[in-house]
């Protein structure tokens, strides 16, 4: 059942979330909402929020935990891939700052931005680097996000959704194993999830024309989403990505032991599970603890499921994400 290929081995995992917690009740003090309203619509009860710790700090702490779990040292790391939409700087990259913090100076380091599907994109990218045979034997994949940076805390419909956190995997090549992936994007839906960076302004500009990019007007750099459109996209993209990844290796979604989804909304996960015909028991869900942490949500959920003894070595697992871009992707492997 399923052909064996050269895949990827997770040698170690680690996570880190800020100590400060904001409960649903805390949000009732700053916007007109209620614990019941948030819980029923999203499944979220609380989220961890940074108290000043930068994104790279969260990522470095998760990286150190993963390296300790894997038993590898800084000099063993050949490549660092960091996934984020909330880096502390345009430059240097998050990956370079994490490299500095863990002392892995000299290895390849770059960032990958595929929004909430970023960790799946990064996981597949790491696998392909490991297969090159170009001296890359150990990859550190880190997802670190501080969505509190671009949340508009006056917008009650969106500010309750997001949290901060990081998680990391140490990856190596695995021979004669199960691996498959399916990645994609729909740029036509870019306008449904947006946070503006810098506009095209400079000292020599004479053209006052604003180019129509079919993007929403946002308040400064604050995040804006069309919840209905994102829901429609996600409930189709999630099961499709899982089905496509499974089809490549001739297995069905029900053959999977676990499907670890992006933790955006419990209703999205439940709808996707129904479309797949797979029991919710196979979906580790921790959105009640963390809220939506973008690219960090999948590895954080994976870490918790392993820590609780749910996901075990030898299990057939699918990581599946969807997010701004619009992006989507799934990766199937043996843990």
Residues in the chain: 335
Percent of the chain predicted with pLDDT > 90: 85
Do 48 and 188 have their domain in common? no
Q: In the prediction, which pLDDT does 212 show?
A: 67
Residue 262 contacts residue 302 (beta carbons within 8 Å): no
Q: In the prediction, which pLDDT does 3 show?
A: 63
Q: What is the pLDDT of residues 227-237, one digit of tens each?
A: 899 999 999 99
CA 304, CA 297: separation in Å to the nearest integer?
A: 11
Do 160 and 12 have their domain in common? yes
Query: CA of 131: how far to CAs of 102, 120, 217, in Å?
Result: 25, 17, 43
Instruction: Look up 116 and say whether it is catalytic.
Output: yes
Q: Is the pLDDT of residue 129 over 90?
A: yes
Query: CA of 117: how far to CAs of 114, 123, 148, 204, 327, in Å?
Result: 6, 10, 18, 38, 6
Do 36 and 59 have their domain in common? yes
Do 201 and 327 have their domain in common? yes
Cis peptide before 191 (omega within 30 of 0): no
Instruction: Look up 318 and say whether it is catalytic.
Output: no
CA 295, CA 284: separation in Å to the nearest integer?
A: 16
Boundary residue ending a domain (125, 152, 177): 177
Beta-carbon neighbour count of residue 32 at 10 Å?
8
Q: Is the pLDDT of residue 209 over 90?
A: no
Q: Is the pLDDT of residue 263 over 90?
A: yes
Q: Which is it for strands 5-16 and 46-48: parallel, antiparallel or unpaired?
A: unpaired
Q: Is the pLDDT of residue 1 over 80?
A: no
Provide mean pLDDT across the span 17-42: 95
Q: In the prediction, which pLDDT does 200 show?
A: 81
Q: In the prediction, which pLDDT does 208 show?
A: 79
Q: In the prediction, which pLDDT does 2 show?
A: 55
Provide mean pLDDT across the span 5-20: 96
Q: What is the pLDDT of residues 148-185, one digit of tens each?
A: 999 999 988 889 999 999 999 999 999 999 999 999 99
Do 157 and 282 have their domain in common? no
Q: Is the pLDDT of residue 124 over 90?
A: yes
Do 130 and 235 have their domain in common? no
CA 171, CA 134: separation in Å to the nearest integer?
A: 15
Boundary residue ending a domain (177, 194, 228): 177
Q: Where are the alpha helices (DSSP H) in 16-158?
A: 24-27, 35-42, 55-70, 94-102, 118-130
Residue 141 contacts residue 83 (beta carbons within 8 Å): yes
How sure is the predictor about 202, in pLDDT bands with cuts at 50, 70 and 90? confident
Q: In the prediction, which pLDDT does 221 show?
A: 82
Do 209 and 126 have their domain in common? no
Candidate list 24, 240, 265, 292, residue with the active-site label: 292
Instruction: Look at residues 293, 203, 190, 283 and name the one whose alpha carbon lies nearest to residue 238.
Output: 283
To the nearest whole number, what is the mean pLDDT of the chain? 94
Candidate list 116, 159, 246, 303, residue with the active-site label: 116
Structure tokens belonging to residue 259 = 């499907």
CATH code (residue 195): 3.40.47.10
How sure is the predictor about 218, in pLDDT bands with cuts at 50, 70 and 90? confident
How sure is the predictor about 59, in pLDDT bands with cuts at 50, 70 and 90? very high
Q: Which of 82-96, 102-116, 204-218, 250-264 has the lowest mean pLDDT?
A: 204-218
Do 248 and 324 have their domain in common? yes
Candidate list 240, 262, 303, 318, residue with the active-site label: 262
Provide mean pLDDT across the span 286-308: 98
Q: ∠149-150-152 over CA atoms, to 5°? A: 115
Do 11 and 156 have their domain in common? yes
Q: In the prediction, which pLDDT does 295 show?
A: 98
Domain that holds residue 283: 180-334
Do 9 and 141 have their domain in common? yes
Q: Is the pLDDT of residue 87 over 80?
A: yes
Q: Count the alpha carbons within 13 Å of 45 in the hemisphere toward its beta carbon.
A: 4
Distance of CA 172 to the CA centre of its chain: 20
Boundary residue ending a domain (143, 177, 211): 177
Residue with tokens 């996000």: 145
Instruction: Look up 303 and say whether it is catalytic.
Output: no
pTM of the model: 0.95
Helix (H, G, I), strand (E, B) or coil at 276: helix
- Which residues on adjacent β-strands are paired with residue 108? 79
Number of folded domains in the chain?
2
Q: Which is it for strands 193-194 and 108-112: parallel, antiparallel or unpaired?
A: unpaired
Q: Which of 21-35, 90-104, 216-230, 293-307 has the lowest mean pLDDT?
A: 216-230
Residue 284 contacts residue 277 (beta carbons within 8 Å): no
Do 315 and 234 have their domain in common? yes
CA 287, CA 228: separation in Å to the nearest integer?
A: 19
Q: ∠25-224-167 over CA atoms, to 5°? A: 65
């Amino acid at each position: 059942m399923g052909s064996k290929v050269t895949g990827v081995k997770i040698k170690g995992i680690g996570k880190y979330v800020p100590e400060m917690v904001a409960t649903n009740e805390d949000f009732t003090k700053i916007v007109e909402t209620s614990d019941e309203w948030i819980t029923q619509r999203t499944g979220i009860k609380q989220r961890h929020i940074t108290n000043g710790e930068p994104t790279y700090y969260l990522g470095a702490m998760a990286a150190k935990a993963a390296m300790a779990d894997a038993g590898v040292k800084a000099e063993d790391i050949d490549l660092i891939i960091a996934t984020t939409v909330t880096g502390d700087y345009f430059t240097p990259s998050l990956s370079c700052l994490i490299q500095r913090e863990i002392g892995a100076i000299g290895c390849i380091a770059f960032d990958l931005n595929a929004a909430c599907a970023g960790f799946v994109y990064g996981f597949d990218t790491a696998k392909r680097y490991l297969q090159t045979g170009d001296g890359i034997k150990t990859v550190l994949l880190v997802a670190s996000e501080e969505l509190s940076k671009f949340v508009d805390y006056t917008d009650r419909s969106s500010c309750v959704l997001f949290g901060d956190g990081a998680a990391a995997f140490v990856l190596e090549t695995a021979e004669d194993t199960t691996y498959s992936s399916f990645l994609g994007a729909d740029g036509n839906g870019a306008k449904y999830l947006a946070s503006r960076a810098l506009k095209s302004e400079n000292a020599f500009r004479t053209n006052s024309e604003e180019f129509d990019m079919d993007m929403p007007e946002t308040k400064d750099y604050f995040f804006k989403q069309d919840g209905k459109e994102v829901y429609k996209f996600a409930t189709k993209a999630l099961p499709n990505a899982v089905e496509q990844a499974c089809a490549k290796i001739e297995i069905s979604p029900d053959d999977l032991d676990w499907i670890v989804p992006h933790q955006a909304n419990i209703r999205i996960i439940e709808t996707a599970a129904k479309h797949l015909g797979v029991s919710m028991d196979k979906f580790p869900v921790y959105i009640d603890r963390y809220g939506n942490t973008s690219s960090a949500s999948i590895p954080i959920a994976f870490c918790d499921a392993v820590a609780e003894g749910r996901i075990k070595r030898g299990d057939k697992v699918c990581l599946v994400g969807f997010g701004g871009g619009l992006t989507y992707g799934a990766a199937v492997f043996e843990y």
